[in-house]
Structure 1
Amino acid sequence: MATTVLGISAYYHDSAAALVGADGIAAAAQEERFSRRRHDSAFPAQAVRYCLDEAGLTLGDVDAIAYYEDPARKFRRVLATYAATAPHTWSSFREVMPAWLGWKARTLDTVREELRGLGLGAVPPVQRFGHHQSHAASAFLPSPYESAAVLCVDGVGEWTTTSLWHGAGQRVEPVAELRFPHSLGLLYSAFTYFCGFKVDSGEYKLMGLAPYGKPVYARLIREKLIDLKPDGSFHLDTDRFEYLHGHVMTGRRFEELFGGPRRQPEAPLTEREFDLAASVQEVTEEVMLRLARTARERTGERRLCLAGGVALNCVANGRIVEEGIFDEVWIQPAAGDAGGALGAALLAQRAARPHTRTGRDAMRASRLGPGYDNDRIAAYFDANAVPYTRLSPEELSGQVAEQLAEGKVVGWFQGRMEFGPRALGGRSILGDPRNPAMQSVMNQKIKFRESFRPFAPIVLAEDAKEYFKLSQPSPYMLIVAQVAEQQRLESDGAARGLERLRTARSTIPAVTHVDHSARIQTVTAEADPRLHRLLGDFKERTGCSVLVNTSFNVRGEPIVTSPEDAYRCFMRTDIDTLAIGDLLLTKADQPAWTEDGDWRDEIPLD
């Protein structure tokens, strides 16, 4: 049995590395955080270096390398797809085959070569696991449950697009699956593309857009695009899509169905996009609910674990929780492909799961990335003549709470970086949720992104039910629930589209979406003492134990990793204050910030 395993996901989307040792998960990070290229698919060389450095190891100290999918099976699926769609896919075939006949056909050898090139010691044996097998392991093995149903839903791995597993003890056994080209993830991505957003990164925008519309196309989707069975299995009418042909997601037949061509990126949003988003979201939730009920029936389990890209659809997750299909639901915070690196490492190690005896998960609050001590941070600032004040943790928390209560926006850089797409209080931008203007200020002047995008609340776990209709903890910001009735305000029901942004719907309007929902993160003192203290200090000053929390980055950029990244983002935006470790920086005290050219021209919009 391997004791120390390095897991790797690479080459397709959101490459990552994860290290699992005798004491559990030691480190995990996406390559994008180091390369500063969003969703970087390159070999995760810098993430590998970080994981080994964090544990004080070399490759020679590692027992095995675990790769998150089976390249040979994936190649067979690609070949079978081209064979079934020829000759229409000839141009795409000519583009992609050289890579598949070259390095992709020998992916595991390529991984070995990349690792050797790092010069970090002898490369241990490389094992490979199935894509959905890795997802399932990432969902169940770190979960707090001795046994559970496990549901994995994404675009596609090798062949599988949806899979049901039964987790018990140290094992995760397959129960049922759906196969390509019938994919809920690809259905959702098709609408993402059709509404003018980028596939594999814009799906969360579509989810945020849905409450502005009405599901007027939902019946059409059910009748023309998806044949949905009572057990949640389904078939797509693939003739209506273009993704089998290799270039785009939708084409003429999709356009005929929904009244015209796709929205061009950056073009104004119209009622059609609002309604399309609402419609595909409703269908997605219906599929997920049926799959969850089948998972309960087929496994007999009272607890559910979720992973795969569709598990990041926190509205659908919230529906599963709200319906009470399971007593508890746990979602892997790195539910997408990055989490596959962790799942593969856990499969190779097959270690004991002592954390289940305490009822806690093994993710260490998802704080598995790099951390920086005060001396390292101060050294960078001193070398660059950056003024700051060094405080005790208690003093810093009090001063930040005071500034938040005054309406200031704060960059909050504390401890180790989060693994996964959500900022959970390690690399966050914080604001006062009671301020009705906070959403537009943070979207347009700090994040430089679309005004419709909702912000998430963080709340003291002990006060969560005072603000939200939430029946279980939500530590990873992956469950949406309604704002509690006692917090709601009367609103103008006549407003349409983006005009609805101007209406305050609750006592915490900056985190209340137009349908009175919120994507919630509950914070405990055990998981994050500093963030819990800050929420308590803010409550002491305002009576409110909720803050706005968004990721510490701007549109098109990965979440910040280092003090250098944080300071650059702080100076490029209208963030008022930076709290980084025990150091507090005020924008008004900083020297003038200059750069060659406009940095926004260098970052691709998503």
Structure 2
Amino acid sequence: MTLILGISAFYHDSSVAILRDGEVVAAASEERFTRKKHDASFPRNALRECLQMADADVGDLDYVGFYEKPFLKFDRLLETYLAYAPAGYGSFFRAIPRWLQTKLHLPREIRKQLGKQYKRRIVFCEHHESHASSAFFPSPFDEAAILTIDGVGEWATTSWGVGRGNRISLKNEIRFPHSLGLLYSAFTYFCGFRVNSGEYKLMGLAPYGEPKFVDLIFKHLIDVHDDGSYRLNMDYFSYCHSLRMTDRKMERLLGAARRNPNEPIRQVDMDLAASIQRVTEEVVLRMAQYVFDQTKLDSLCMAGGVALNCVANGRLLREGPFKQIWVQPAAGDAGGALGVAWLIWHQLLGKPRVANALSAQPTSLLGPPADREVDVQALRESGAVTRHLPLDDELYTTVVKLLAGGNVVGWVQGKMEFGPRALGGRSILGDPRNPEMQSIMNAKIKRRESFRPFAPSILEAHSQDYFEIPGGDSSPYMMFTFDVQEKRRLPVDQSIPPSIERGRQSHSDLPAITHVDYSARVQTVSQQRHPRFYGLLRKFYEETGCPAVINTSFNVRGEPIVATAADAYRCFMATEMDALVIGNVLMLKTEQPESARQSSQRELRELEPD
């Protein structure tokens, strides 16, 4: 038996993954346990939980891998600082002490964090190798093209290659400072959202605007070549030499000032969001076409932070040259922990790989469970009032009645999802037929911006009846947006221009999950992948005739997705959620003690807004 630990740490979304003989045993991000969103510290809590799931300790590990090469990254930082000196002194002064203390001594630091029990080899791979590995090795393809796009690793920001059998080979790359991910982040920053966490807000805002700035962006900010390669005009970006993404020159070009995060969203922000989203899609399509022309392969695997742009992914699936696309559910840096572990197993050790039709990551439910009796008993001892519903059918019937009655239900089942999408393990559920449910859940539950859309989870067998899903009916990871079928759409007042006001109209017979552009980020649910979540959706369909529910991540603005039963109960009590289900245990808000509500609200108020 070979036990491999993969680590992603010290930069963004620190995570660990454990493979046993090439199979994923566990994977989790540190933020879920520390409750610090995007926690970059060494993932000691995630490591403890994953080792427990693997029934192992540090001394049992055969290999440890780290998802990038720190010396190459340090080389890039030094060269960048020197190129922009003295302008970059401020950011240089802030970064270097941490590098000298920790990041340049990662082998020592990793062994220290592992408690000096690990005496074997530590393997370092390049950042985009870990992305490529995380994309191809768990995919259902024997061979496929690979495309990885993010902000920046060591030097690479975009790379492409090929995976065959148990090997990956990267052919070419685009290097820092030219980065599609950083271009998108620059507009995220300009529109007043936080870099590295607000990009999905910008994506959600885009359909409310008009892409008025597309030509200007292509003319002044990014030069895209026929082969999909590109260069940014660095005169307009300041991320190389400051802690800001853009400066006054960008404001003069766009004819608008950067939005302060505390100010209302403007029409120009919507138009900028629509424009950079369109530009991103066009560049991704052009890169994918070039990769297809070079490889002549029908399948594509993707990873990297830009691969979390489900709108671009959906357009690539509809309009691009590839017949099949598989996107790593943890496509950001967290997935690098999986990537380096698989790279060690297949590429270093030469172990064979057999492609699985369901993929080697069939559900991405890879974290620790939260519905054990001991977890629920601890809640009871703290004062929670619970109802035990031992039969699945009784549980499903009760929850369906709550949902159909306009209630919002927290749903915690089994293992925790790895990656940013809630897939039925740590979810908040609602009735998608209710036209008020989007505003209710945004304002009273998620405590986030009113324009943010919600995603549907739908029975896989009924997905084509509601959504235009090219190439089949399966989208289990919520990584693509699809258009709502024409027959489901409702007419809207076209005299209202694309805006948040137009978005308040019902756009389909599932109004709570249909975005202003008639799209939705879809998760299809099958009995094979998600048996309990499938059972709930099946019962909802039988009782209401609707095969879908709203499925959003179980957290509020500023906090990570809940990990434990205690996290879920605190979030439940601090919001206006109506019911909480953990395993087969139901908790109704009206039956809970007022003291629990007050203490939970105090804890959530301490979280820094995202």
Q: After TM superposition, is the score higher than 0.5? A: yes
Residue of 196, 200, 215 corresponding to 2:196: 200
Task: Answer whether contact 2:14 2:41 (CA < 8 A) is retained.
Answer: yes
Per-residue CA deviations over 1:150-179 (Å, capped at 9, x if unaligned) read: 100000000000000100001110111100
Task: Report the counterpart of residue 447 of structure 1 in structure 2.
Answer: 446
Please, which runs of 5 or more residues in structure 1 have no aligned partner?
none
- Matched with 2:370 is 372
Tell me the equivalent position of 1:422. 421
Using a 3 Å threshold, how does the CA distance of structure 1 residues 394 and 510 change in structure 2: closer, same or farther?
same
Equivalent residue runs for 1:315-326 within 5 Å: 315-326=311-322
CA distance in 2, matches of 1:591, 1:401: 25
Q: Aligned pair 1:227/2:223, yes or no?
A: yes
Q: How far does residue 387 in structure 1 lie from its aligned partner after superposition?
A: 1.5
Q: Distance in 2 between matches of 1:378 and 1:97?
A: 46
Residue 101 of structure 1, CA deviation: 2.9
AA at the equivalent of 1:484: Q
Q: How does 1:164-243 map to 2 (within 5 A)?
A: 164-243=160-239
Deviation larger for 267-276 or 319-328: 319-328
- % identity of equivalent residues: 51
Asked if the contact 1:433–1:508 (Cα under 8 Å) also holds between the matched residues in 2, the reply is yes
Q: Which shifted more, 374-383 or 123-132?
A: 374-383
1:11-50 Cα offsets, whole Å, 9 max, x none, are: 0000000001126000000000000000000000011111
Q: What are the within-5 Å matches in structure 2 for residues 37-116 of structure 1?
A: 37-116=36-115
Say whether the 8 Å CA contact 1:469–1:481 is kept in structure 2: yes
Give the Cα–Cα distance (whole angstroms) in 2 for the partners of residues 220 and 477 of structure 1: 32
SS at match of 2:367: coil
SS at match of 1:368: strand
Query: 8 Å contact 1:388–1:585 — kept in the other structure?
Result: yes
- Matching residue of 1:359: 357
Deviation of the 1:543 alpha carbon: 0.7
Tell whether the 8 Å contact from 1:116 to 1:123 is kept in structure 2 after alignment: no
Which position in structure 1 is the counterpart of 2:436?
437
The 5-angstrom pairing of residues 329-348 of structure 1 reads: 329-348=325-344
- 1:406 partner amino acid: G
Measured after TM superposition, the shift of residue 364 of structure 1 is: 3.5
Q: Equivalent residue of 1:137, what SS?
A: helix
Q: Contact conserved, 1:374 with 1:583, CA < 8 A, in 2?
A: no
Corresponding residue to 1:126 among 114, 122, 127: 122
Q: How many residues align?
A: 601
Q: Distance in 2 between matches of 1:257 and 1:421?
A: 34
The 1-side partners of 2:372 and 2:303 are apart by 35
In structure 2, the residue matched to 1:595 is 599
Q: 1:531 Cα deviation (Å)?
A: 0.8
Q: C-alpha separation between the residues in 2 aligned to 1:292 and 1:219? A: 21
Mapped pair 1:585 → 2:587: yes
Going from structure 1 to structure 2, the CA distance change for 1:99 and 1:424 (only over 3 Å counts) comes to same
CA shift in 2, pair 1:250/1:453, >3 Å: same
The answer (yes or no) to whether the contact 1:355–1:362 under 8 Å persists in 2 is: no
Three-state SS of the structure 1 residue aligned to 2:197 is coil
Q: Is the 8 A contact 1:148 1:301 kept in 2?
A: yes
Aligned partner letter, 1:137: S
Q: Distance in 1 between matches of 2:600 and 2:422?
A: 29
Q: Whole-Å Cα distance in 2 between the matches of residues 572 and 13 of structure 1? A: 28
Q: Distance in 2 between matches of 1:360 and 1:596?
A: 40
The 2-side partners of 1:355 and 1:444 are apart by 47
Structure-2 separation of matches of 1:373 and 1:244: 46
**TM-score, normalisation: structure 2:** 0.97
After the TM superposition, which parts of structure 1 deviate over 6 Å for at least 4 consecutive aligned residues?
Answer: none
The structural deviation recorded for 1:92 is: 2.1
- Cα distance in 1 for residues equivalent to 2:73 and 2:397: 53
CA distance in 2, matches of 1:99, 1:382: 44
Question: Residue in 1 aligned with 2:277?
Answer: 281
Residue identity opposite 1:526 in structure 2: Q
User: Which of 509, 522, 525 is the equivalent residue of 2:524?
Assistant: 522
Within the candidate set 562, 572, 575, 2:574 is matched to 572
For the 8 Å contact 2:371–2:412, the answer to whether it is kept is no
What is the one-letter code of the residue matched to 1:113? K
How many angstroms apart in 2 are the aligned matches of 1:352 and 1:361? 17
Q: Helix, strand or coil: the match of 1:369? A: strand
Task: Judge conservation of contact 2:437–2:512 (CA < 8 Å) in 1.
Answer: yes
Q: CA deviation at 1:594?
A: 2.2
Which range moved further: 591-600 or 446-455? 591-600
Q: What is the identity, as a one-letter code, of the residue corresponding to 1:446?
A: I
Match of 2:250, SS state, is helix
Q: 2:605 is matched by which residue type in structure 1?
A: D
Alpha-carbon distance change, 599 to 372 in structure 1, aligned in 2, over 3 angstroms: closer
152-161 or 500-509, larger mean C-alpha shift: 500-509
Q: State how far apart, in whole Å, the 1-side matches of 2:531 and 2:249 are.
A: 54
Paired position in structure 2 for 1:485:
486
> Given the alignment, which residue of 545, 557, 560 partners 1:558?
560
Q: Compare 85-94 and 47-56 and name the one that shifted more.
A: 85-94
Range that drifts further, 328-337 or 293-302: 293-302
CA contact (8 A) 1:578 1:584 kept: yes
Deviations 1:408-467 (A, max 9, x none): 110000010000011110000000000010000000000001000000010000100000
Name the CA shift for 1:385/1:604 in 2 (closer, same or farther; >3 Å).
closer
2:288 — aligned with what? 292
Distance between the aligned counterparts of 1:124 and 1:355, measured in 2? Answer: 28
> How many Å apart are 1:246 and its aligned residue?
3.0
Secondary structure at 1:265's aligned position in 2?
A: coil
Contact 1:115–1:123 under 8 Å retained in 2: no
Q: Is the 8 A contact 2:140 2:358 kept in 1?
A: yes
Distance 2:574 2:558 in 1: 14
**Amino acid aligned to 2:583:** G
Q: CA deviation at 1:596?
A: 8.4
8 Å contact 1:4–1:349 — kept in the other structure?
no
Measure, in 1, the Cα distance between the counterparts of 2:433 and 2:102: 54
1:605 aligns with 2:606: no
SS of residue matched to 2:363? helix
Kindly state the Cα deviation for residue 354 of structure 1 after the two structures are TM-superposed. Answer: 5.5
Q: Deviations over 1:56-75 (max 9, x none)?
A: 10111110100000000000
- 2:385 is the alignment partner of 1:384: no
Q: Secondary structure in 1 aligned to 2:162?
A: strand
The whole-number CA distance in structure 2 between the counterparts of 1:390 and 1:99 is 50
Q: Aligned partners of 1:447, 1:300: CA distance in 2, in Å?
A: 44
Residue in structure 1 matched with residue 20 of structure 2 by the alignment: 21
Are the structure 2 counterparts of residues 575 and 123 from structure 1 closer, same or farther at C-alpha, using a change threshold of 3 Å? farther
Alignment of 1:462-501 (within 5 A): 462-471=461-470, 472=472, 473-496=474-497, 497-501=499-503
Decide whether the 8 Å contact of 1:535 with 1:546 is kept in 2.
yes
Deviations 1:336-363 (A, max 9, x none): 000001100111111756652x412111
Q: Secondary structure at the match of 1:534?
A: helix
* Aligned-residue offset at 1:373: 4.3
Q: Could you say which residue in structure 2 is the equivalent of 1:545?
A: 547
1:272 and 2:264 correspond:
no
**Which string of whole-angstrom CA distances, capped at 9 and with x for unpartnered residues, describes residues 238-276 of structure 1?**
111000113110001111111132100021011100000
Compute the displacement of 1:600 (Å): 4.3
Change in Cα spacing, 1:430 to 1:352, as seen in structure 2 (3 Å) is farther
SS in 1 for 2:138: coil
Note the alpha carbon deviations across 1:380-423, whole angstroms, 9 max, x for none. Answer: 13312321111112211111112111111100000100000111
Partner-residue secondary structure (3-state), 1:454 = coil
State whether residues 64 and 127 of structure 1, in contact with CA within 8 Å, keep that contact through their aligned partners in structure 2. Answer: yes
- Secondary structure of residue in 2 paired with 1:116: coil
Judge conservation of contact 1:129–1:344 (CA < 8 Å) in 2. Answer: yes
**TM-score where L is the length of structure 1:** 0.97
> Which letter does structure 2 place at the counterpart of 1:281?
Q
Distance 2:530 2:168 in 1: 30
